[in-house]
Amino acid sequence: MKIFILRHKKGIAVVLAVCVMITMVPMFVGYPSRLPILAANSNERKMAADISSSTGVDVDKILTLRKDGKSWNEILEELKGKGGSTEDRNQMDKLLTEEALGEKDVKMLLGAGFTKEEIQQATLIAERIQFQLQEITSSNGNETISAVKEMPETGEVTSENGDSTAVYKELEEKLNIKNAITLMLKLKAAFGSMEQVMDEYLYSLQVDINLEDYLTDRQAYQKKKNDKNLEAGNKKIITMSDIENEMLKTIQQSNVNNDTKEVTDSGSKPSDNLGWKADDKPKSPLPEVTDVTPRDPGEDILEEIQQINPLK
């Protein structure tokens, strides 16, 4: 054996070296391969944490979805709208900032089956009408309502379309945001849209009937409405469209008045546009005119007598 080893010592050394190298290859290959895996796990966990903070969903649940082979976009799409605490809180804050409903009322409407989106839509409609009414009536106080004129018989101020601004003021005072929102939500299906419910609510305020009666006795409400229609006769009923149109006219008239005021305050005259004022107009020299009045013949005779006068 010793003789064999001595004869083949060089070959055995080569074989041993090869075996050692083969054994160490996985170590060298495997060690660096773990670095990107660790880095990937760290990045994924950070991404999962970001999604968790924005949706309120547990990090481990997000990582489980990721392990199932879903992309981050697919995970976000799946988690969208699934009761994230942050999302719910932001939505509630949005409704509360409208200053139309308190937290208790919002929870009550949510409990009644209305969605956050429906509550927000009704709130925006009601607050828009309230804002427009306030702008119209406040502008009237500043004499900027569209084409405002005073009726000589009554002294009542009316707008361009003939609607008394007192009607807009009365609507502003009677409008109850909370009632309007609740009625739009509860009667949307019966009237077809929230806007139509709002028009009906405005009508009820103008003819002094209660739209809430529609919820308890539809026929009784309709009878009251028919009776009020007969009493109203040709009375103009203000709608959402009328309010929005009047609002636009008010803004336009306000802009015109502001432009006129700027011109008046500046004291400018038409000639100012030419670069000089009326009192500073360029003055041209007056032409010299020769006197062409004929001489009196008597004066000529007197001159001749004076010339031949010997005493002179």
Of the pLDDT bands very low, low, confident and very high (cuts 50, 70, 90), residue 176 is: very high
Percent of the chain with pLDDT over 70: 49
Q: Which residue has the higher pLDDT, 139 or 289?
A: 139
Q: Which residue has the higher pLDDT, 262 or 16?
A: 262
Per residue in 195-233, pLDDT tens?
999 999 999 999 999 999 999 999 999 999 999 988 887
Of the pLDDT bands very low, low, confident and very high (cuts 50, 70, 90), residue 141 is: low
Amino acid at 192: G
pLDDT at 61: 85
pLDDT at 210: 95
DSSP 77-126: HHHTTS--HHHHHHHHHHHHHTTSS-HHHHHHHHHTT--HHHHHHHHHHH
For residues 166-180, one letter each, b for 16 or more C-beta atoms within 10 angstroms of the residue's C-beta and e for the rest, the string is ebbbbbbeebebebb
The three-state secondary structure class of 164 is strand
What's the pTM value of the predicted model, to 2 decimals?
Answer: 0.51
pLDDT at 28: 43
Mean pLDDT of 80-107: 61
Of the pLDDT bands very low, low, confident and very high (cuts 50, 70, 90), residue 78 is: confident
Per residue in 253-266, pLDDT tens?
776 766 666 666 66
pLDDT at 189: 95
Residue 101 · residue 83 · CB < 8 Å: no
**Phi, psi angle pair for 156, to nearest 5°:** -85, 140
Kindly state the DSSP code that residue 172 receives in the 8-state scheme: H
Position 80 pLDDT exceeds 70 = no
